[in-house]
């Protein structure tokens, strides 16, 4: 491993700003409203950045799976159902977002999913450490410290697997609980649209179809939007999965919610790759 140079504390803010353009970004599926009408045409945005700002478009060749699962079956939208757009944001001239146009059918609780192919990148020690801090990958930070690797650069292979639960009409159906077979994914144990503010949502986190214990999980809603001094987001819920891979999310506010995690492990399965990470998010709305 090459040794990353030590940097002065006074340069930390600048370093994090640079890393923000180099690191992988969290990916979300987000709608203007997660409550839709039956037999209607709708748009879902694939954000790659954070929950309110997409910093770049996910290209079609990286999308290994796009699925919309409803009571009428599963649909895999064609490539022409996607379009890219530059959208104004208060602290950016424009932001690049991939938009998927899709049709609903019968009333029910739908599931939308996107899974991407892996990408490999290399960061200096400082860049990698700052990225782990920014995205809250606290177990990897502790493991690097324990192994004396804090000053080592790192090459990471990562992929992203995102889902949204959407309510169409008033009738509930069971599609919200199905597995999509992604490398990692959240499986809700209750229909979010049967819950309200003050309730708790349980989600099981799976890796290769198996529950993962002690996985750190973050959750937040759109009305709790703050930034920490490090540039990351302040979240409403920080928790861990239990022995059955289940995390409990107190629904402390209404609006659009996300649940996110990064499952990162050291790997020797590929030459010159140090870490493998799989990112998962689940989005929904609470009234």
Please, which residues have CB within 8 angstroms of residue 25's CB and are 6 or more apart in sequence? 48, 49, 50, 55, 56
Whole-number pLDDT of residue 232:
55
Average pLDDT on 256-272 reads: 93
The residue among 3, 20, 5 whose CA lies nearest residue 230 is: 20
Best-predicted range by mean pLDDT among 49-53, 203-207, 266-270?
A: 203-207
108, 175 in Cβ contact below 8 A?
yes
Can you give the pLDDT at residue 3?
33
Q: Is 134 helix (H, G, I), strand (E, B) or coil?
A: helix
Where would I find the H helices in the chain? 12-22, 125-134, 138-146
Asked if residue 251 belongs to a domain, the reply is: yes
Q: What are phi and psi of 141, to 5 degrees?
A: -60, -50
102: how many CB neighbours lie within 10 A of its CB?
19
Provide the H-helix boundaries in 135-245. Answer: 138-146
* Residue 4 covered by a domain: no
Query: Does residue 266 carry a pLDDT above 60?
Result: yes
Residue 276 above 80 pLDDT? yes
Q: For 79-94, what is the mean pLDDT?
A: 70
Q: How confident is the model at residue 6 (pLDDT cuts 50, 70, 90)?
A: very low
CA dihedral 251, 225, 213, 164 (to 10 degrees): 70
Residue 26 has pLDDT above 80, yes or no: yes
Residue 1 lies in a domain: no
H or E element at residue 94 = strand 92-103
Query: Does some domain include residue 86?
Result: yes
How far is the C-alpha of 1 from the C-alpha of 153, rounded, in Å? 6
Residue (of 31, 101, 103) closest to 256 by Cα position = 31
Quickly state the pLDDT bin for 9 (edges 50, 70, 90): very low
50-11-136-163 Cα dihedral, nearest 10 degrees? 20
pLDDT in tens, 91-146: 444 458 899 999 999 999 999 999 999 999 999 999 999 999 999 999 999 999 99
Q: Classify residue 252: in a domain, yes or no.
A: yes
pLDDT value at 22 more than 50:
no
For the stretch 136-178, pLDDT in tens is 999 999 999 999 999 999 999 999 999 999 999 999 999 999 9
pLDDT over 80 at 263, yes or no: yes
Q: What angle do CA 68, 72, 78 make, to 5 degrees?
A: 40
Contact call for residues 220 and 239 (beta carbons, < 8 A): no
Confidence at residue 11, expressed as pLDDT on a 0 to 100 scale? 28
Residue 89 falls inside a structural domain: yes
* Bridge-based pairing state of the strands 154-168 and 35-36: parallel
**Where in the sequence is the domain holding 104, given as residue range(s)?**
9-286
pTM: 0.88
Q: Is residue 2 a part of any domain in this protein?
A: no
Q: Is residue 66 in a domain?
A: yes
Structural domain tally of the chain? Answer: 1
Share of the chain above pLDDT 90, in %: 78
Shortest CA distance to 262 belongs to which of 29, 18, 27? 27
How many Cβ atoms sit within 10 Å of the Cβ of residue 198?
A: 11
Answer whether 58's CB lies under 8 Å from 97's CB.
no
């Amino acid at each position: 491993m090459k040794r990353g140079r030590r940097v002065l504390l006074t340069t930390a803010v600048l370093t994090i700003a640079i890393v923000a353009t180099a690191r992988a970004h969290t990916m979300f599926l987000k709608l203007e409203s997660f409550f839709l009408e039956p037999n209607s045409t709708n748009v879902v945005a694939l954000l790659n950045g954070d929950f309110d700002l997409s910093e770049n478009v996910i290209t079609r060749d990286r999308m290994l799976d796009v699925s919309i699962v409803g009571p009428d079956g599963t649909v895999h939208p064609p490539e022409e159902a996607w379009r890219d757009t530059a959208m104004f944001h208060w602290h950016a001239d424009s932001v690049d977002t991939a938009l998927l146009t899709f049709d609903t059918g019968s009333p029910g609780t739908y599931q939308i999913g996107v899974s991407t192919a892996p990408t490999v990148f290399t960061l200096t020690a400082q860049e990698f450490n700052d990225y782990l801090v920014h995205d809250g990958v606290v177990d990897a930070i502790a493991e690097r410290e324990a192994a004396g690797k804090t000053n080592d650069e790192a090459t990471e292979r990562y992929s992203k697997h995102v889902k949204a639960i959407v309510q169409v009409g008033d009738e509930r159906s069971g599609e919200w609980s199905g597995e999509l077979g992604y490398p990692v994914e959240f499986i809700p144990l209750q229909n979010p649209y049967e819950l309200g503010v003050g309730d708790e949502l349980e989600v099981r986190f799976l890796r290769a179809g198996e529950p993962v214990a002690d996985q750190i999980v973050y959750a937040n809603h759109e009305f709790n939007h703050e930034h920490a001094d490090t540039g990351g987001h302040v979240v409403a819920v920080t928790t861990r999965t239990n022995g059955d891979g289940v995390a409990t999310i107190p629904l402390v506010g209404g609006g659009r919610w996300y649940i996110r995690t990064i499952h990162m492990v050291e790997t020797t399965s590929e030459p010159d790759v140090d870490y493998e990470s799989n990112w998962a998010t689940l989005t929904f709305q609470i009234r």
